[in-house]
Amino acid sequence: MTFRAEGITKRFGPTVALDGVDIELRPGEIHALCGGNGSGKSTLIKTITGVEIADSGTFSIGEIASAAPDVTPARSHEWGIRCLHQQGSTFGSLTVTENFAAGVGFPRGFGGRIDWRAARKHSRELLEEFEIDASPDQLLEELRPVTRQMVAIARVLQDRSDSAGGVLILDEPTASLSAADVDRLHEAVVRFAETGTMVMYVTHRLGDLPGFASRATVLRDGRVVGELGASEIRHDRLVEMIVGVSEEELLSAASSHVVDASARDERLVLKDVVGGPVKGASLSVGAGEIVGVAGLVGAGRSSLLEMVFGTQEPQSGSVELDGEPLTWRSGKPHDQVALVPENRVIDAAFLPLSLTENIVATTTGRCWRKGFLNHRAERAEVRQIIADSGIKAASEEAPFQTLSGGNQQKAIVARCLRGEPEVLLLDEPTQGVDFAARAAIHETIRTAASEGLCVLVVSSDLEELVLMCNKVVVLVDGVTTSTVSGPDLTPENLERLGFGEVVSSV
Ligand SMILES: Nc1ncnc2c1ncn2[C@@H]1O[C@H](COP(=O)(O)OP(=O)(O)OP(=O)(O)O)[C@@H](O)[C@H]1O
Ligand SMILES: [Mg+2]
């Protein structure tokens, strides 16, 4: 039995998001769906799951066929199609058991009351079946991201009538996972495929695909530009199909990163900072320097950024900028500091507002002249930012939620730079961002740094840290244990210093 989508077309006003897309999933195969930001991947998934209604086309599973516009979430569900959508599908402040119940409901006992014993038992069974290392009463936010992701997958698969077969769609399941965690997630996905599940898998981490995906379909501007078999799936080939130019041409267009080891004025200095999971962090960032923070998720990386930003109070230690302490102001961010948070949907985006409003939000002060907001100046500036950052949207007034994930990320980085901060903090700055856009974001940040800005960046992508940073500080269990720079700055060294335990236990 195969799943087939044929001639799927979907327009959003003037935007043609999908233009006659064909794709076929086969049992036992992991089918990668690739394409740049805004190429139509999530839209295709949404039409398959009935979240968006296709304009035309056909879906078929085995012998059953249906006109694509007739597919509803209920019918898609009936066909055994299960999907983990791109953005947030678990609840951090709820327990594992509550997360499993959200969506399918709790087992009920006498008088309709929730039967907690049955709920916990069901949850324990799922944890066992999916080989997840967690207990039913743990809060999701306490779990490692890969475990959390596994809970999310188990949750969408729990009510399949037929435990083998069916379709599992994963839209960027590895954003913000470390390399070792990506391997763990992949092992689980391979297990599902081996039991006959048809898997559709979206990622921008193209290097993850060779040896993992059995087939790849590449989309560009809503059209299929090609399909590759397992042996043809290589990084350079994928990039060329996604972007339309060779990887070499693309990289030579972006200026290469020169590590400048000359002494600089120290601007941002952290001494023995303690707070939350951070047990002792010391580091310094010079003018124009880009400093990375490597370490496992949970090692305190994000807390460290928040203590510099001003939204988390350090228990002890000091944070100074140009010799002046950045003192705690009851959670109010410091004026000189900007943060691109890890979770853009929850913490940084104003989804119903327009792209323009999202770019000018928090920095509207810039275009005020003599008490009036200079709309013309602001519009011109926003237009420039959209062009410079390569943001793809239907228009400047498009609601933010209609932008593809990667384009939202570019807009948030642009907004933070617009405020002309002294210190820029970035938490997973290129999650969900395609190959070309990643290079563009790196370039934007480097340009900003060359003007004297201090940059502190957290990323699970060690290649990214090596590519961007002058030096990288390794955080192990909340303590800064080493600093790597110059020729020592390699992904292998960072992995060894920051992820030693996990690598050895895989
Ligand atoms: N609800 C909507 N209204 C208007 N336009 C939309 C809507 N949803 C998506 N689009 C547009 O459709 C196109 C395809 O977007 P889609 O989200 O499918 O891209 P994607 O391939 O998933 O990108 P990414 O890698 O950034 O997640 C984009 O131009 C996007 O702006
Ligand atoms: Mg998407």
Q: Domains in the chain, ordered, with CATH?
A: 1-80+164-253 (3.40.50.300), 90-159 (no CATH), 255-336+421-506 (3.40.50.300), 348-418 (no CATH)
Q: What is the pLDDT of residue 222?
A: 95
Nearest to 229, CA basis, from 210, 245, 244: 210
**Is the CB of 403 within 6 Å of ligand 1?**
yes
pLDDT at 506: 31
Q: 344 or 328: which carries more pLDDT confidence?
A: 328
72 Cβ contact partners less than 8 Å away, ≥ 6 residues apart? 50
pLDDT digits 0-9 by tens, 394-424: 999 999 999 988 888 889 998 898 888 999 9
**Rounded Cα gap, residues 335 and 332, in angstroms:** 9
pTM reported for the whole predicted model:
0.80
> What does the pLDDT average to over 80-87?
86
Euclidean distance between the first and the last CA atom of the chain, given in angstroms as a whole number: 34
Given this model, what pLDDT does residue 263 score? 57
pLDDT tens track for 356-374: 998 887 664 454 555 566 6
What is the 477 CA–ligand 1 centroid distance (Å)? 38
Nearest to 404 by CA among 25, 45, 26, 3: 45
Residue identified by tokens 């475990």 is 147
The single residue listed with the structure tokens 């599992």 is: 168
- Which stretch, 83-92, 217-226, 243-252, has highest mean pLDDT? 217-226
Is residue 261 scored above 60 in pLDDT?
A: no
Q: Is the CB of 42 under 6 A from ligand 1?
A: yes
- Any idea how long the chain is? 506
Q: What residues contact residue 228 under an 8 Å CB cut-off, 6+ apart?
A: 215, 216, 218, 237, 238, 241
pLDDT at 274 over 70: yes
Q: What is the pLDDT of residue 125?
A: 92
Largest alpha-carbon pair distance within the chain? 73
Q: What are phi and psi of 30, to 5 degrees?
A: -105, 110
pLDDT band, very low/low/confident/very high, at 502 (cuts 50, 70, 90): very low
**pLDDT confidence of residue 267:** 94
Tens-place pLDDT, residues 289-303 = 999 999 877 778 989
Identify the nearest ligand to the CA of 170 by its number: 2
Tokens in use for 329? 């102001």
CA pseudo-torsion sign 484, 486, 487, 492:
positive
pLDDT at position 251 is 60
Dihedral of the CA atoms 72, 42, 178, 218 (nearest 10)? 120
Report the pLDDT averaged over residues 65-79.
94
- Higher-pLDDT residue of 475 and 159 is 475
The per-residue pLDDT for 487 is 87
Q: Is 12 in the pocket of ligand 1 (CB under 6 A)?
A: yes
Averaged pLDDT, 375-396: 87
Which strand (E) or helix (H) includes residue 157?
helix 145-157
Q: Is the pLDDT of residue 313 over 50?
A: yes
Q: Cα angle vertex 431, ends 336, 453, to 5°? A: 25
pLDDT band at 503 (very low <50, low <70, confident <90, very high): very low
Q: Which ligand is nearest to the CA of 406?
A: 1
pLDDT of residue 255: 46
| Percent of the residues in the chain that have a pLDDT greater than 90, as a whole number | 52
- Find the 33 Cα to ligand 2 centroid distance in Å: 10
Sign of the alpha-carbon dihedral angle for 276, 279, 282, 283: negative
| For ligand 1, mutation pick of 83, 402, 410, 430 (most atoms within 8 Å of CB) | 402
Q: Residue 217 Cα, ligand 1 centroid: separation in angstroms?
A: 17
C-alpha 40 to ligand 2 mean position (Å) = 7
Q: Is 410 in the pocket of ligand 1 (CB under 6 A)?
A: no
